Each structure stands twice: as C-alpha cells, then as structure tokens.
C-alpha cells in the first residue's frame, strides 16, 4: 500500500491551498510582512508534487525527435535554454542532449515511442520541490541570490537554465507574467524557501500554498520563445 506523499514544506503551515478560480482572493488575504502599504511586492508559492524525469538523447537524431513529439505532443526544444509545454506536459532544455520532462505518464509514453532509438530515461522520483516566485519585485529577490543576469533580456518567458541559489543547485524556468519556477532538491526545500523569504522581506512578502498549478498550466499554449 502506497503512502501519501509528505510535502517537503508542509511544516511551514502555509495558507490553505488555492485554486485557479480563487487565487486572487487568497493572495489578497495572505499574510504580508515588511511593507507598510500592505501590498506584497513578492509572492511565494510552494507548488505541489509533479512527476518528472531526465531525458537524454541526440538532438540531431530525427527518429529520436519524432518519438519525443509522439509522446509529448509537441516538439522537444533543441535551442539552448528553451522550454516548451502543452496540456500539462513540459520539457526544459538542460544541455545539448539532456532535458527535464515534467508531467504525469510521460515516462511510459516516451519509453514506448523511443523503443527503437538511442536514449535514456531517469525518473526523479520524489526528490524535487518547486517554489514559484512572482510579483513586481520577484526578479529583484532572485537577483540577490543567484548569478544570472535576469535583466539583460536573454532570460525571458519560456527560457530555462541551471544555476545556483545561495549555494545550492537549482533549475530555473521563467513563466509568462514574470513568474519564476525554482526547482531544488527536496532536502534543500526548507533552506531555499527561507532564504528567498528573507531576501524578499524588504519588498513585502505573501506566502501561499497552491494546488491547481497544473490546471493553470494547461491553459497556456506551447511556449518556445526564440
């Protein structure tokens, strides 16, 4: 009998989970600190578990790319630091022959469509936590803690990259609307949350728990920014 997943940040007792239909009201009601105006400059959300895996293959192998399209429903991004998604499935470019794939059922479908191709699939299991950082000062918070040039224009919506966050490894995916998805190892989730919260205190911070991120993502078209 399988056990219910223990969320890495459950001990923080965040606001009650919110849905796509009620997120504005819940965000308005979330506790805000460090800002006399009562308006949060930064909102942090602990996103729920989403299955993921590492996919490896040759980006110049036409059969491999065709197999990926058959399993994912969209073209695998082959340009550096690009991400793509559709219908709740996402693929993030991590290197010339490596991608992070997020979404349920991806592993089985990829194994079937890539059966005749040279490839590797490595599941991440329960080892990841995603923290969403948003708000008008979200980029300023992130800039305090990582060496990326977030203001230079090279990392816009749809882009992704590996980097470090206050000394720990992270994968960063920039979503539309200035939302940053920060992927960190499960064992570093508490540290990442607290260091981000501390960096955002001067701007006003709201913290919420969000459960309907997949439903909201499903509404997005395929994202592959050139």
> pLDDT per residue over 169-210, tens digit each?
999 999 998 899 999 999 999 999 999 999 999 999 888 776
User: By the 8 A CB rule, do 72 and 89 touch?
Assistant: yes
**Are 107 and 177 in the same domain?**
no
- Do residues 176 and 214 both lie within one domain? yes
- Regarding whether 111 and 89 lie in a shared domain, the answer is yes
CATH of the domain at 74: 3.30.70.1520
CA–centroid distance for 173 within its chain: 5
5 is a domain residue: no
Q: Are 161 and 172 in contact (CB under 8 A)?
A: yes
Domain boundary residue, one of 82, 107, 123: 123
Domain extent at residue 59: 52-123
Q: How confident is the model at residue 52 (pLDDT cuts 50, 70, 90)?
A: very high
- Overall number of domains in the chain: 2
**Residue 164 placed within a domain:** yes
**Is residue 200, in this structure, part of any structural domain at all?**
yes
Residues 209 and 173 in one domain: yes
Single out the residue in 69, 95, 123 at which a domain terminates.
123
User: What distances in angstroms separate CA 220 from CA 17, 109, 177, 204, one per listed residue?
Assistant: 21, 22, 12, 28
pTM: 0.81
Joined together, the tokens standing for residue 37 give 């105006």
Task: Using DSSP bridges, classify how beta strands 205-209 and 83-86 pair: parallel, antiparallel or unpaired.
Answer: unpaired
Task: Read off the pLDDT of residues 156-169 as tens digits, 9 standing for 90 and up.
Answer: 999 999 999 999 99
Q: Is residue 160 a part of any domain in this protein?
A: yes
Q: Is residue 3 part of a domain?
A: no
Alpha helices in 114-174 (DSSP H): 138-145
Residue 72 covered by a domain? yes
Give per-residue burial for 26-62: e unless 16+ CB within 10 Å, then b: bbeebebeebeeeebbbbbbbbbebbbbebebebebe
CB 142, CB 188: distance < 8 Å = no
Among candidate residues 123, 146, 175, the one where a domain is terminated: 123
């Amino acid at each position: 009998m399988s056990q219910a997943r223990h969320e890495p940040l459950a001990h923080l007792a965040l606001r009650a989970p919110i849905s796509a239909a009620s997120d504005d009201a819940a965000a308005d009601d979330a506790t805000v600190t460090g800002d006399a105006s009562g308006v949060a400059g930064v909102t942090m959300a602990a996103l729920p578990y989403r299955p993921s895996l590492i996919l490896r293959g040759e980006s110049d192998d036409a059969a491999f790319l065709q197999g990926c399209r058959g399993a994912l429903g969209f073209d695998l991004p082959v340009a550096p630091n690009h991400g793509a998604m559709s219908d709740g499935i996402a693929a993030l470019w991590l290197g010339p022959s490596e991608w992070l794939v997020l979404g349920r059922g991806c592993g089985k479908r990829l194994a079937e469509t890539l059966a005749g191709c040279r490839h590797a699939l490595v599941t991440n299991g329960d080892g990841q936590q995603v923290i969403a950082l948003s708000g008008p000062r979200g980029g300023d918070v992130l800039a305090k803690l990582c060496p990326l040039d977030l203001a230079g224009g090279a990392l816009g919506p749809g882009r992704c990259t590996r980097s470090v966050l206050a000394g720990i490894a992270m994968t960063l995916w920039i979503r539309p609307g200035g939302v940053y998805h920060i992927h960190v190892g499960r064992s570093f989730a508490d540290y990442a949350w607290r260091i981000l919260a501390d960096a955002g205190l001067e701007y006003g911070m709201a913290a919420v728990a969000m459960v309907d991120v997949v439903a909201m993502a499903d509404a997005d078209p395929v994202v592959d920014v050139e």
